[in-house]
Structure 1
């Protein structure tokens, strides 16, 4: 009953804004689970909160981690802004908060709204997991953008001469062979 009611109600609100209600929802969940129905609210703590939020396959009860779920939902909104730049919402957010850059390069700015602070914080999730598709390579900066494959560092991390900071991936590709210039 808890999972079907309490966890689903907040999904819509969490899809756009990190809700200050997260702590209240977790308190209600904990009170229901551990409260015991008495006036002193000193129920028996049968299971730690970490176990409640752990997957059932790992011995938990499979409850949702509200903070992680919330950040995931807001990161989804940020991803929608990146993927659909011609949508009305993307145009409005871009015009107000990052008119001369992309969402991934945007700064928090002065006097940001609650929604922008949330999206700006959630973009860190996207930055940790996204990679560029090389394509022609004319828009991907060698030093700044996450374009390298593999599980290691996705950026070129060694110090470079000043000319390298404006170098794009296209400059590293041999045009006729569609492969990297090793020299």
Structure 2
């Protein structure tokens, strides 16, 4: 609701196409960035946010029935792959939450890690433990991230690596780029988008 209200306010103003992209990339993501970093958001919530952002981007009216001319999956890709440089929220959310798993495996010195080690892991292998009936929804989602991390993480503590490389500091951007499904690169950004954008009167 907060994102929808903010976008509705913006729609009352004259914004350039580049301005709408910038707002989606920075302001809108900052509205729910905290929650994305805490736990995996429900899929229906992420899809709803993507739909609102996509309608705002193409100026078709957030609350109307008219659909955006280009799907969000085509938009939320790096520019070199034909997208607009907007991050895919679902994959970004996973990359954010994977930080918790990384900190546990790295045995980072935080109060949260110490508490989880004592009351949840209890000296067991993090890769093998299972959630129980009293486990919180957040903890269950952190454990679910092991499915993604399994193919990328090796070692523990100071020997911990991501894709065979040591990370001086956990990077959400690096992990996001590693776990997302890439598309083929395009030679020219305007080749893919020029025709489609010009049809709706938006300069590239």
Question: TM-score, normalising length from structure 1?
Answer: 0.63
- CA shift, 1:34, in A, is 4.2
Q: Which runs of 5+ in 1 are unaligned?
A: 136-148, 150-183
Number of equivalences: 134
Cα distance in 1 for residues equivalent to 2:38 and 2:100:
7
CA RMSD, aligned part only?
2.5
Q: 2:143 aligns with which of 109, 120, 143?
A: 120
Q: Is the 8 A contact 1:17 1:74 kept in 2?
A: yes
> Which has the higher relative contact order, 1 or 2, with Cα contacts under 8 A spaced 6 or more apart?
2
Cα distance in 2 for residues equivalent to 1:84 and 1:8:
28
Q: Is the 8 A contact 2:94 2:145 kept in 1?
A: yes
The residue that corresponds to 2:31 in the other structure is: 9
SS at match of 1:103: coil
Cα distance in 1 for residues equivalent to 2:40 and 2:85:
21
Q: Is the 8 A contact 2:56 2:62 kept in 1?
A: no
Cα distance in 2 for residues equivalent to 1:97 and 1:116:
9
- CA shift, 1:95, in A, is 2.7
Matches within 5 A, 1:67-78: 67-78=90-101
Cα distance in 1 for residues equivalent to 2:64 and 2:97:
37
Cα distance in 2 for residues equivalent to 1:114 and 1:48:
31
Tell me if 1:89 matches 2:106. Answer: no
Superposed CA deviations along residues 10-35 of structure 1, whole A, max 9, x for unmatched, are 22211111123423321321231345
* Runs of 4+ residues deviating >4 angstroms: none
Q: Which runs of 5+ in 2 are unaligned?
A: 1-22, 159-163, 165-204
Larger Rg: 1
Cα distance in 2 for residues equivalent to 1:112 and 1:16:
16
Cα distance in 2 for residues equivalent to 1:8 and 1:61:
18
Larger relative helix fraction:
2
